[in-house]
Amino acid sequence: MDALAPHDRPREKLDLLGSSVLGDNELLAVILGHGYRRANALDIANRVLGAVGGLHGLTRLGKGQLRRVPGVGPAKAAQILAAVELGRRTLSRSPAERALLRSPRDVAAYLLPRYGAGAVEQFGIVMLDTKHRVVRATVLSVGTLDASLVHPREVFRAATAGGAAAVVLFHNHPSGDPTPSVDDVALTERMVHAGAIMGIEVLDHVVLADVRYFSFKESGRL
């Protein structure tokens, strides 16, 4: 950082002007704290963001992937992942509050910060009470979504154990495209039918992709 004027150094700029004026690379440099002999914290921050395609790409990375970036060792990788997780949690409601999900938009706002940017596909359910307040959300399957891997038995066993009156199905598309596949459609139909038999209504199936979503209910397909 010695090559930068004091007022252009990220930490000093934050002290003088506040965090909102810092660029993504400067904020990441503050988190990293310092670099090493051949690269300062800002250089490493630029490398990280370049490697992942920008700030949002950080939500998809694991510790091992970060450590492949020159200058990022175990400690710096842990710092970055911890900062990303803190940011994710600030977008989530307090556990003490029971979110009321009145619409697909409410459901997406609740789920996207938690599961929208996952690096692998996850399938789960949001359990709701009779007033459509969240009881809890749980992931039931991790990996490629396939009808044979996600069985109604597991879905409604979890819903029954959780005392759910209704459920919302959800899964994420790591590709960033929330458009449902043929398998997604078939799975939705299968779950709706099973829910009718079990007496637990399937209100929606929401496909998450980064900051976008697709709702079967909103699209008129459920």
* Cα–Cα distance measured from residue 102 to residue 193, given in angstroms and rounded to the nearest whole number: 22
* Cα–Cα distance measured from residue 89 to residue 31, given in angstroms and rounded to the nearest whole number: 17
Length of the chain: 222
According to CATH, the topology of domain 6-90 is DNA polymerase; domain 1 (1.10.150)
Structural element, H or E, at residue 202: strand 201-209
- The ranges of the chain annotated as CATH 1.10.150 are 6-90
What is the reported pLDDT for 92?
Answer: 63
* Cα–Cα distance measured from residue 18 to residue 26, given in angstroms and rounded to the nearest whole number: 12
* Cα angle for residues 55, 177, 85 (degrees, 5° grid): 35
* Cα–Cα distance measured from residue 114 to residue 118, given in angstroms and rounded to the nearest whole number: 8
Q: Supply φ then ψ for residue 2, to 5 degrees.
A: -60, -25
The answer to whether the pTM exceeds 0.75 is: no
Q: What is the architecture of the domain spanning 104-215?
A: 3-Layer(aba) Sandwich (3.40)
* Cα–Cα distance measured from residue 170 to residue 164, given in angstroms and rounded to the nearest whole number: 15
What is the reported pLDDT for 60?
Answer: 75
* Cα–Cα distance measured from residue 79 to residue 33, given in angstroms and rounded to the nearest whole number: 10
> What are the helix (H) ranges across 19-148?
24-32, 41-52, 63-66, 74-90, 104-115
Q: How far is CA 73 from CA 30, 77, 79, in A?
A: 16, 6, 10
CB 42 within 8 A of CB 36: no
What is the reported pLDDT for 149?
Answer: 64
Structural element, H or E, at residue 188: helix 182-198
What is the reported pLDDT for 148?
Answer: 41
Q: Tens-of-pLDDT digits for all 222 residues of the chain? A: 455 555 567 888 788 777 777 888 888 889 888 777 778 888 888 888 888 888 877 877 777 778 888 888 888 888 888 888 888 777 665 555 678 999 999 999 999 988 988 888 899 999 999 999 999 999 998 876 544 468 899 999 999 999 999 999 999 998 889 999 999 999 999 999 999 999 999 999 999 998 899 999 999 999
What is the reported pLDDT for 185?
Answer: 94
Tokens 């299968």 correspond to what residue? 190
User: Sheet harboring 166-172: ordered strands across?
Assistant: 134-142, 122-128, 166-172, 201-209, 212-215
- The ranges of the chain annotated as CATH 3.40.140.10 are 104-215
What is the reported pLDDT for 77?
Answer: 84
